[in-house]
Chains A and B, each alone.
Chain A
Amino acid sequence: MNILIIAAKEIHQAIRNRWVLAATLLLAGLALSLTFLGSAPTGNVGVRTLDVVVVSLSSLTIFLVPLIALLISHDAIVGEMERGTMLLLLSYPVARWQVLLGKFLGHLAVLAFATCLGYGAAVGALAATGSQIDSDSFLAFAAMVGSSVLLGAAFVAIGYLISALVRDRGTAAGICIGLWLLLVLIYDMALLGVLALDQGRSISAAALNAMLLANPTDAYRLINLTGFANVSTFAGMAGLAQTSSLTIPVLLSALLGWTLLPLGLAALAFSRREL
């Protein structure tokens, strides 16, 4: 009950602050432009447009959704402490973990709404312009939207953990930007560099899999680019998809773990926190 009251308030605030509007418009705008501009080089002959959209949109999601998630979450605990609103909230009959979980549900709902509506606009536009959408493509698209929300959940949880640990908002923001750069950009480049140097001598396939699972964005990428045969041909990942032992359930549980573990640690850090 308390959790839902707090979640409802977070959603209310996000609507008031135009977070919902901004995130939805941003995602819809990018999804629509990718849908129509992205199909220009391939043309429309013989190619199932929605599959191309899944490939390009999921690449975009890796940059954008974690960023939006960290933006709304980094401030959740330390920001409310700095503004003084947390002091009053915690004098009410609510447990701290309920506050955290309520905020999580609220922020997740905002993110899910923006993603579903924003990306849904792309499908709607395709259908409206008369593109054929078969059920395989639609399934891949739905999985992409679902896993995007899960990726967002993981980064919201990571943002909370940072927010629960640091002393002030500026530090939280700084660490979040650093983490975003690391996980979204640097990690893959470094991994690629290491693999190129190693030439397959000491890094086993299992070690590589572990390294891919250690980054939520890589787990997300693999779900969408290798998970569906119709999509992986366009992603140039068909070969990888056949050899990789990382199945969809494994990848999904990695993302889930990336959500639950930081969330649990954030709850622990928050419960120890003095204010």
Chain B
Amino acid sequence: MTSTVRVSDVTKAYGRVEAVRGASFALGQGELVALIGHNGAGKTTLMKLMLGLIRPTSGAIEVLGDNPAAGEFAGRRQLGYLPENVSFDPALTGRETQAFYARLKREPVAKALDLLDAVGLGAASRRRVSTYSKGMRQRLGLAQALLGAPRVLLLDEPTTGLDPELRQTFYDIIARLAAAGTTVLLSSHALTELEERAGRVIIMNRGIKVADGSIDELRRLARLPTRIRLKVAGLAPSEMPPWAPADATCRRLNGHIVEIDAAPERKIELLHRATAAGNAVEDVDVVPPTLDELYAHFLRQSEQAP
């Protein structure tokens, strides 16, 4: 797998505040990577560094063979970017804006205007951007990011302001591009959305990369318990089933549901025990740790580390 973006030991300091500290990673062709972290964790700073909008205090960055800090921009023809809170010149219409950006990328204007329909801007594209709602500006932002055939897509909070239907379309487009070999780096707060889609997750906290891997890898690393929910008939309200292991945390959720926190390697054993107990168990649900929980875990871990 060839990498399209390489970040090596990059630090970016604003005065005494270090927005990014010693971050290193490489993004490969066709990867769909989620960059998560709370506000001020350094997500936007990383993207700006990749675009050469700011220069690293130390370390090196390479994007599509360019060194953005030196002002090289040949590779940017194959790069799409959607900034957080994207804004456009209010006096121009959506079509005019899209045509302008298409010309800068030397893309045929007619093809670029088709993208406006693809993001559902359709009829509104003939109106001035000043009349657009937040969601419509976001659609136009997506349309310009998809111009050409980007090999790298940097999307900063791309789904804020999009309605659920367009969110779905958006993730479909992204998945199709990633399958065709585009590197997609996407930052978001909507962790549940990313959970099924991102092949890889990078978690940032206070400028430091605290975790990097596929969700399964992160689950293994985090060793968070899987929650097993069992619907058990004939239990008194505060009673626990007799087969529940003494060393696992159990709680009663409501009427007949018992929730057990199972360590990853004891999952199967617990299920065996539950089913061996006879037909008292009516239903079972296995909930692996969600991205939300993993995120919280790695954040806690990095806060405790010196």
Contact = CB atoms under 8 A, between A and B. Distances in A.
Interface of A: 2, 5, 9, 12-13, 16-17, 83-85, 87-88, 90-96, 271, 274-275
B25 interface: no
Interface string B57-93: 0000000000000010110110101010111110110
A85 B89 contact: yes
Contacts of A9: 89, 92, 100
Contacts of B88: 85, 88
B91 A91 contact: no
Contact of A91 (B53, B89, B100): B53
B51 interface: yes
B226 interface: no
B83 A84 contact: yes
B105 interface: yes
Contacts of A93: 73-74, 76-77, 104-105
Contact of A12 (B81, B83, B92): B92
16 contacts: A5-B104, A9-B89, A9-B100, A12-B92, A83-B87, A84-B86, A84-B87, A85-B89, A88-B86, A91-B154, A93-B76, A93-B77, A94-B73, A96-B71, A271-B71, A274-B53
B54 interface: yes
A106 B62 CA distance: 34
B95 interface: no
Contacts of A16: 91-92
B103 interface: yes
Contact of B54 (A2, A84, A88, A274): A274
A12 B100 CA distance: 11
Given A5-B104, A13-B89, A88 B53 contact: no
A5 B91 contact: no
A92 B104 contact: yes
B144 interface: yes
Interface in B103-141: 103-105, 141
A275 B54 contact: yes
Q: Which interface residue of A2, A5, A96 has the most chain B CB atoms within 10 A?
A: A5
A95 B92 contact: no
A87 B100 contact: no
Contacts of A84: 83, 85-87
A254 to B, nearest CB: 32
A5 B101 CA distance: 9
Nearest to B85: A84
A13 B76 contact: no
Interface residues of B, number: 30
A48 to B, nearest CB: 43
Contacts of A87: 53, 83
Nearest to A2: B104
Contact of A17 (B71, B76, B91, B100): B91
Q: Which interface residue of A13, A87, A91 has the most chain B CB atoms within 10 A?
A: A91
Chain A to chain B: the 8 pairs with minimum beta-carbon distance, closest first:
A91-B81, A84-B87, A93-B76, A16-B91, A274-B54, A92-B104, A93-B77, A5-B103
A90 B104 CA distance: 11
Contacts of A90: 51-53
A92 B76 contact: yes
A87 B52 CA distance: 10
Interface string B36-60: 0000000000001001111100000
B83 A13 contact: no
A232 to B, nearest CB: 44
Contact of B55 (A12, A88, A92, A274): A274
B96 interface: yes
Contacts of A96: 71
B70 to A, nearest CB: 11
B71 A95 contact: yes
A84 to B, nearest CB: 4
Contacts of A271: 71
Given A5-B100, A91-B51, 8 more contacts: A9-B92, A85-B89, A87-B53, A88-B83, A90-B51, A90-B53, A92-B104, A93-B76
Contact of B79 (A2, A12, A91): A91
Nearest to A88: B83
Nearest to A92: B104
Contacts of B79: 91
B73 A85 contact: no
Given A9-B100, A85-B87, A87-B83, A92 B71 contact: no
A18 B144 CA distance: 27
Contacts of B81: 88, 91
Contacts of B85: 84
Contact of B53 (A12, A13, A275): A275
